[in-house]
Amino acid sequence: MQPSSKRERITITPDHSAQIALQCQHPPHGDAIASVVYVHGATFGADLSVFYAFDDGRSWADALTDGGFAVWGFDFVGYGASSRYPPDLDRPAGDWRDALRDLRAVVCAVRERNGGQPIALLAHSRGGAVAARFAGDFADEVAALVLFAPVAARAGTASQPRAAPTPLPSHQPLSAWAQYRRFIEDVPRGHPQVLSEAHMQRWSELFLVSDPTSATRSPPSVMTPCGPLADIAALWSGDAWYDPARIVAPTLLVRGEWDSVCNDDDAARLMSQLGAAQRRDVKIARATHLMHLEQQRVELHAQVNRFLSQVLR
């Protein structure tokens, strides 16, 4: 096992003045093939996802750098080490327009620092929807796109499963127990859990630490922007705020067999709508929407590395 390289931590302050925490991990040996920008989902940022080290000391970023890629991860405003939205905001904080603005600032910052390397977006869940919008709006800036369990538009009503209630506040408190329920609820009855209890305990502690105010509430909880919930509710109500047909970069759609957020129907519809000539749909067995924290994460890493190596070399 190669040692992971040291991470570089950068703070960027775009025109909207909020600070965005950006990190980069370079390959331990040699120059990078490309820059992979990880776009996190609705409830936790880069340190708890792409840079999260498991019991063996390895993270998803380590797997990517072993493949020759530089990994850039960031926290949207409202998460992790980035600036927080005011708690009394009069709308759901951090919706797709806010997130697209943040992602645009991050990609510009990466371009200023990566020596002209091609940029690939690797995005999870609601972050996948934001990355899909970005790839359509800024097609010349995206050399490849990996959509990991993205939220896709459905032709339905706001009563779709997990749709957000209305009206939404700016934030909601999210406890470690609520996160744990999300992680296990899609595993079919009779199947063993795909997430280690001991691992979840350690992850939960770090999740709560990500919000300095978590201990002021009972139970301890992370104040989480509600904009992503509004975004998902809109998509599942038929409000398609991104157009897959505008995406022309080679695209990998990768998801878990037991994922209810990106199910077979979602994947088939999204694949049929993509404008990309190169497209691939991979479904990984015995995995849910949080596969990057589960036992099948190694297969997820392998599939993503294989795809990126094929389209970016």
Separation between Cα atoms, residue 38 and residue 75, nearest integer Å: 10
pLDDT at 55: 86
pLDDT at 2: 45
The CATH number of the domain covering residues in 7-152+241-312: 3.40.50.1820
Separation between Cα atoms, residue 207 and residue 239, nearest integer Å: 31
Domain coordinates of the chain in residue numbers? 7-152+241-312
Residues 6+ apart with CB under 8 A from 305: 63, 64, 66, 67, 69
Q: Could you give the angle at the alpha carbon of 239 between the alpha carbons of 17 and 18, nearest 5°?
A: 5
CB 59 within 8 A of CB 4: yes
Which H or E element spans position 295? none
| In the block, residue with structure tokens 């490309």 | 34
pLDDT at 76: 98
pLDDT at 88: 83
Which H or E element spans position 267? helix 264-273
pLDDT at 118: 98
Nearest to 183 by CA among 297, 301, 81, 60: 297
- b/e 232-260 (16+ beta carbons within 10 angstroms → b): bbbbbbeeebbebebbbbbbbbbbbbbbe
The number of residues making up the chain comes to 313
The stretches in the chain having pLDDT less than 70 are 1-5, 156-166
Residues 6+ apart with CB under 8 A from 254: 146, 147, 148, 149, 281, 282, 283, 284, 300, 303, 304
Within 8-158, residue ranges assigned H as helices are: 60-66, 96-113, 126-137
pTM of the model: 0.95
pLDDT at 166: 67
String of DSSP letters for 133-194: HHHHHTGGG-SEEEEES-----SS-TTSTTPPPSS--SEEEEEHHHHHHHHHTTSPTTSPPS
pLDDT at 29: 84
| In the block, residue with structure tokens 């009779």 | 190
